[in-house]
Structure 1
Amino acid sequence: MKNIEVNGMERSIPKEVGDVQQLLHHLGLDNRILIVELNRQILNKEAYDHPIQDRDQIEIIHFVGGG
């Protein structure tokens, strides 16, 4: 297991979750419009293959429609 922080909360994720795209899939967010910040750096969608390390800090913002 890897221990990371997602949106300010500690989480344990399986070691098989190796990059940001896999994390989004693991969290059920891979089909949403998102902004992802990894260790205080905003990632472009093309960089979602960036590896996740133990103790990384990740912020995920997703948009919700409504009116």
Structure 2
Amino acid sequence: MSIPLTVNGEAAEVPPGSTVRDLVAARLGHPVGEDGRSLDGRSLGVAVALDDAVIPRSLWSTTPLAADARCEFVTAVQGG
């Protein structure tokens, strides 16, 4: 059984008990620590909004994903 949600406008599913941190790690392919920072030293370069509220990195590991949640990944783009 999985939890249905929307990520950047597309249908997705996550295992029960998943958190924002779990989703970020899975989507970016980087291990993410409890503090929301990459464990391998790379910059994640992403902010996450869940149901229109930006979730601070410090809360990623404790913010659960609920059925039908809307999650948006926002990345910084350099240049102009």
TM category, shorter: 0.7 to 0.9
Q: CA deviation at 1:28?
A: 2.3
* RMSD value, Cα: 2.0
Give the unaligned 5+ runs of structure 1.
none
Q: CA deviation at 1:21?
A: 0.4
CA distance, structure 2, for counterparts of residue 29 and residue 60 of structure 1? 14
Which one has a larger percent strand, Structure 1 or Structure 2? 1
Give the unaligned 5+ runs of structure 2.
31-37, 39-43
TM-score (norm 2): 0.69
Equivalent position amino acid for 1:46 in 2: S
The size of the alignment, in residue pairs, is 66
Equivalent position amino acid for 1:9 in 2: E
TM-score (norm 1): 0.80
Q: Which residue of structure 1 aligns with residue 15 of structure 2? A: 14
